[in-house]
A = this chain, B = another copy of it.
Amino acid sequence: MNLEKLIKPKVAAVIGANERAGSFGNYSAVNALQNEGRIQIYFINTKTPVVLGKKTYPNLSALPEVPDCILIATPAKTCAPLLEEAGKLGVKAAIIEAAGFSEEGTEEGKRAEEELRVIAEKYDMSVMGPNCIGLVNNIDKVKLWGMGGTEFDMSVRKTGVAYFAQSGTMSIHAVSCPYIDVSYVFSMGNSTMVMIEDIMEYVLEEPEVRMLAIYLEGVRDGRRFMECLKRAAELGKPVVIHAAGMSQKGAVAAASHTGNLASSRSVYQAVCNKYGVILVESIDEFLCAVNVLSTWIDRMPKGANISAVNGSGGENAVCADLSELYGVPLPDFHPETVKKLKEILPGFANPRNPLDITAITDSVYDVMIKTLETIGDDPNVDAVICSIASFAEPNAKDREQAKIFGESLNERYAAPMIEYAKRPGSVPLMVIPMTEDRRDAVWRGRLREAGIPILANSLAGYKVLGKVCKYLEYRKRVHTLENAAPLKRHGERILSLSEYASKIELSDVGLPMPKQAVVKDKEELLKKAAEMKRPLALKVSSPDILHKTEAGGVKLNIYSDEETDAAFDQILASCRAYRPDAKIEGILVQEQAPKGVEMMIGITCDRHFGPMLLAGMGGVFVEVFKDAAMYPCPLSKQEAEDMLRSLKAYKLLRGYRGSEPCDIDALTDIMVKISQYAMSRRDELKELDLNPVFVYPEGKGVSIVDALVVKYGD
């Protein structure tokens, strides 16, 4: 696939260019004209010799040269013949705007899309769409884009963010946002041919692209998607993903929209945790997050210690509440900072973070800049948030007030902030206005120029800031970036290993298993039992009996040979009565583990992103209280411990109400080993369940009491 011709064409043709206001063809033509001079543009129109003052050609063959890329703005039924014609001529890239393909959910639509795919493959063409708006390349100033009206003016925007949208409307919402620097916008449409992963790989390496922002309804190639996230993490380029269609009804909506079958939200969250991706669930948060990261890109805060400066007690209380709610750390000031602030703000008994400097009207500039300097110098402060001015577009009354004061509220507060931001060693600033509004473009621009983002409002602002703080923490640590997504499609047959076989397989990869044997008769049983430490556990081993306890197939706390003998008989009798036709392979005898804190460790394999490690407390804790952590394999001991730390049950592992702390080291050991096992079996493993795992006090290790491995067969 040659994406160069698609993304950076030197010659492009708009098929269906016309003057019918509101049509794809008209928008596409108007937009393409903005490219003129930088790249060669041709218009194709079968009926009109001139469109928008530009000569047209009746078809591709009539052009004086073969275009690198064509933008097809004509209806669905014309697309296949046009693509065929282009392919024959040697065109290597195309964008298809029309809807009416697989997204309709009809057989006809699917067939029509498959026809396009076959043509694209035949001629080795990079085809974006169908059902898309097109692309904007603001690095080379290429605008092959079928929508107008609220779109941005490319000429005034700098480069920075590469946007990907699997929804036309969502790409418009993002592109309409006038204050974000854009390198690229890709409206992906149905992504049948050129996929989001293809383009991510390409643009990530460009130095002008500073971060990625993705509206995602599903991935096609989880392995490559994760590789892109890995590369972004290595390059230090932030990624923001708005993953939609994650709810039950949302998945139906998204599926009928783009035909994607999404992984669950918890899987996306786990993948995002691994790669430090900021995952959001609304467009408000999406734009806030992109705004913050792209504005801060050249001076990212060193950590997540936030300080806030507000202009009233009410704002201060709200700031503290929302910070706590959304996980924004507001550490206390250093005593030296408190001392200095008392001098700057003389009426203040005890300056605290968040800081209410009150509605000062005198010496605002002076107080603001000294306050910012003092807080910024505090070793406990990595960034400062201000809610002191809204920077809203002024209304009539604001203008009146500005006349009174000789300056507006915006001017009064912006000036010291911008001045502070210019000083060497200053920490990054951010403005979170309390309420929604349209911001004043001039002040927003000046603040942004100084690296100060203005967020949408307090709710979205603090919610996003909490996520940005997690990202800032992520950047300070080392991570296992390797991914374990499947290399090939697994078989359809499902193969459950018996407990015995599961444990053998797992002990082969270094997991500590209790001594065990499957025996056919009592003689063998007593021989094996003689080699084991008491008490023993005896269990039926049968592929047909899944619920062993229910079938009377489990006997515990066995000490003597007599008890062993009796248990053998009882299990067989009970299981035969329970299910007379069950195939009984034998009796599993094992050393019974003493009770410990009951955990469950498991693997579930996502079809896109591969094996996910699960950890939680056993029994009702995971199932009723949903207290489980998930992380993509493989992972490090540190990451395994972070998983445990994220559980509410972590308190119990750390020793609760006088009980001894558990052997977390031994537990994370098996988590790491299982993640490696799962990675090595990525193409065949379906799920794995160690439940319960008994965890003993520090230094005493763990016991894997029960194990189940389920694989895909061929």
Contacts and interface: CB of A to CB of B under 8 A. Distances in A.
Interface of A: 21-22, 103-106, 148-151, 165-170, 173, 177, 215, 217, 244-250, 252-254, 256-258, 281-285, 287, 311-325, 330, 347, 349-350, 352-354, 356, 359, 361, 392-393, 395, 397-398, 400-401, 404-405, 409, 434-438, 456-460, 462-463, 620-621, 624-627, 648-649, 651-652, 656
A398 B149 CA distance: 6
Nearest to A312: B169
Given A458-B283, A459-B284, A626-B648, A254 B148 contact: no
A167 B459 contact: no
Number of copies: 2
A393 B287 CA distance: 19
Given A150-B395, A150-B397, A436-B456, 16 more contacts: A103-B313, A104-B347, A167-B314, A244-B318, A247-B320, A252-B320, A253-B354, A254-B317, A258-B313, A282-B458, A282-B462, A438-B438, A457-B457, A460-B460, A624-B651, A625-B625
Contacts of A652: 620, 624
Contacts of A330: 249
Contacts of A627: 625
A324 B248 contact: yes
A626 B647 CA distance: 12
What 7 A-B pairs have minimum CB-CB distances, sorted nearest first?
Answer: A167-B314, A257-B313, A169-B312, A247-B324, A250-B320, A438-B438, A249-B320
A245 to B, nearest CB: 4
Most B-side CB within 10 Å, residue of A253, A256, A283, A356: A253
A314 B170 contact: yes
A236 to B, nearest CB: 28
Contact of A312 (B106, B149, B168, B462): B168
A648 B438 CA distance: 42
A149 B404 CA distance: 10
A148 to B, nearest CB: 7
A315 B170 CA distance: 7
B313 A256 contact: yes
Given A149-B398, A283-B318, A349-B106, A167 B313 contact: yes
A156 to B, nearest CB: 13
A655 B469 CA distance: 42
A409 B147 CA distance: 14
A648 B106 CA distance: 42
Contacts of A253: 313, 316-317, 319-320, 352, 354, 356
A503 B400 CA distance: 71
Contacts of A350: 105, 256
B321 A397 contact: no
Contacts of A150: 395, 397-398, 401
A63 B683 CA distance: 92
A349 to B, nearest CB: 5
A319 B251 CA distance: 11
Contacts of A626: 648
Contacts of A287: 435
A436 B249 CA distance: 25
13 contacts: A106-B349, A149-B400, A166-B314, A167-B315, A169-B315, A244-B318, A253-B354, A253-B356, A257-B317, A282-B321, A284-B435, A392-B438, A625-B649
A256 B106 CA distance: 64
A168 B257 contact: no
A93 B311 CA distance: 30
A173 B435 CA distance: 8
Contacts of A244: 314, 317-318, 321
A192 to B, nearest CB: 16
Contacts of A457: 282-284, 436, 456-457, 460
Most B-side CB within 10 Å, residue of A244, A313, A315, A330: A313
Contacts of A656: 620, 624
A105 B656 CA distance: 40
Contacts of A651: 624
Contacts of A316: 253, 257
Contact of A168 (B245, B314, B649): B314
Contacts of A354: 249, 253
A623 to B, nearest CB: 8
A193 B248 CA distance: 53
A33 to B, nearest CB: 15
A621 B246 CA distance: 29
A133 to B, nearest CB: 11
B361 A22 contact: yes
A173 B246 CA distance: 35
Given A167-B313, A457-B456, A627-B625, A148 B250 contact: no
A57 to B, nearest CB: 26
A250 B281 contact: no
A689 to B, nearest CB: 16
B359 A169 contact: yes
A462 B458 CA distance: 15
A619 to B, nearest CB: 9
Contacts of A245: 317, 320-321
A36 B112 CA distance: 74
A649 B352 CA distance: 40
Contacts of A173: 434-435
A243 to B, nearest CB: 9
Contacts of A463: 459
A400 B27 CA distance: 13
